[in-house]
Structure 1
Amino acid sequence: METPAPRRLAPDLWHLPFPVGHVYALTLPDDGWALVDTGVPGSAPAILDALAQLGAHPADLRQIVLTHSHIDHMGSAADLVEATGARVLAGAADAPVIQGHTPELPPALTDGERPLLAQVQAGLAAAGQPPLRHVTVDTVLHDGDTLDGWGRPVHVLHVPGHTPGSIALHLPGTGTLLTGDTVGAAPGRAVLGPFNTDRAQAIASFHRMAALDGLRAVCVGHGTPLTGDATALMRQATPEKDWLHGMP
C-alpha cells in the first residue's frame, strides 16, 4: 500500500488520504500524536511512514480514536497498537464489535446504495487485504465526554445511525469536526454517508453536527474534507434526499 501524502488542514491536523477510509493525525503535547481512524487492514506501515514524514516516531503515537466499528476505520488498529503501544478509544455501543465480542450490525440499504456497496466490497476483495484483527478498547467514550491529554478542548459527540456507537470529535478552538462516516463529501458539498444501520438516526446526527457554529474543517471518512466555511456547506446539505436513487 502506498504511503499517503499528508495534507495539512489546520495547525494541529493532517489528513492522510487512503483509497478507502481516510485517517487523520493530530498533534498532542510533548511531541505526542493521535490518530482518528486507521484504514483497512494492512494500512499500518503506510500510516507509520506518513507519520514519519511529519517527524513522528512510532512511540510518539499515544491515542487512536475509532469513530466507528467498520473495517475501513478500525482495520489497522491492532497492528498500530502492537507497533506503538497507543491506547484505543471508541464509542460505547461500538466497542463490543471492535473487540470482537459482538457481530457487526448490517446496514439497512436504500436501492441507491446497493450497487455502491457491491462495488466497494468487490474492490476490497480484489485488493487482497489481510484479515481483520480485533483490538482491545482501552477507553469507552460517551456523548459529552472530553478527551484527556490533547492540550485543547475536544468534545465527543455520540452520532448514532451509521453504526449504533458512531462518534464525532469537535475541536472548537480550530473549528475542526471529525465525523467518521455520518458525513460524506461530494464535489463542493456535504452529503449523508451511505450504508447506515438506521437512516433516520443518521440524518438526525447529521443535522446535530450541522448546527455547530464556526466549522472550518469537516473531516469526513470518504471524499475530500470540507474546508473554508464548512458550517455553511453542512447547513446547505439535504441528507434526507441522499442515496435514495443512486449517487447523491
Structure 2
Amino acid sequence: MATGTPEGGKVPPEEQRLGPELRRRAQVKTSTTDQRLLDAVGPSDWVHTDPWRVLRIQSEFIEGFGTLAELPPAISVFGSARTPVDSIEYEAGVRLGRGLAEAGWAVITGGGPGSMEAANKGACEAKGTSVGLGIELPFEQGLNPYVDIGLNFRYFFVRKMMFVKYAQGFVVMPGGVGTLDEFFEALTLVQTQKVTRFPIVLYDSSYWGGLVDWLKNTLVAQGKAAEKDLLLFHVTDDVDEAVALVSKEAGRRAPD
C-alpha cells in the first residue's frame, strides 16, 4: 500500500489506469489529468517550438478541409488588394464574380479588399457562394464584407493548398507580387503535372502583355521553358470570355 495521505485524506490505490497508461505503487499519481491540465502554470516556451507548430499546421489543414469540403465547384480569383473601388478594374472584378456565380461556380478569393473584394461582391450579389481565404499579415485588414464563408490562415502554404484543392480553375486579375506568386505556382503545378490540368486565365492583356512577351522572348527563347508551356494559360480582355474559358476547360458550360 502506498504510504502517506494526500490532501483530502484519501489514500492512493496500489494500481492506477490513466487511459492506456498503467501505474503502480510509488508511480501512482495523486491528481487527475484534468487537474494537471487546468491547474498547472509553467514555462510557455513550448508554444514556440517546432513540434507545436506542426500541430498548428495540422489544425489549419483540418479546419480548411472541413470547412471547404462541401463547396460546390469553384474558381479561384486573384488580384490586387490595392485596386480602387471606383476603378474600371474593380468594376470588372464585380462582373467577373457575378458571371462566375451565374455560371454555377463558387468564387474563392484571398478575402481582402480591392480586386478580391470586387469578385466576392459580384458573387454575393448574384446569390452565389462567396469564399475568402485570408492570411495573417502585419497590415491585415480582415475579410471583406462580401465573404459568406471565410477562413484566416497563419501559414501561406496551407492557404495556397486550399486555393488549389478546392478550385477547378484560376482567373488572375492585375495584381502585385502575391498575385504573381499565385499565377506562377499554378502554372508550375500544371506544367510539372503535379495536378490535373486546370484552366488559368489572365485578365487584361495591357497589364499582362509585358510578362507574356518576356516569357516568350526570354524564357522560352533561351530554352528555360518549352513553347508549349505558353499554351497552359489564356489572356483575355473580356469578362464573359474569361468565364467561358474557365467553364469550358473545367467542364461546365457558361450561360448563354
Query: Who wins on radius of gyration, i.e. which is larger?
Result: 2
Q: Provide TM-score, normalisation by structure 2.
A: 0.27
Higher helix share: 2
Higher strand share: 1
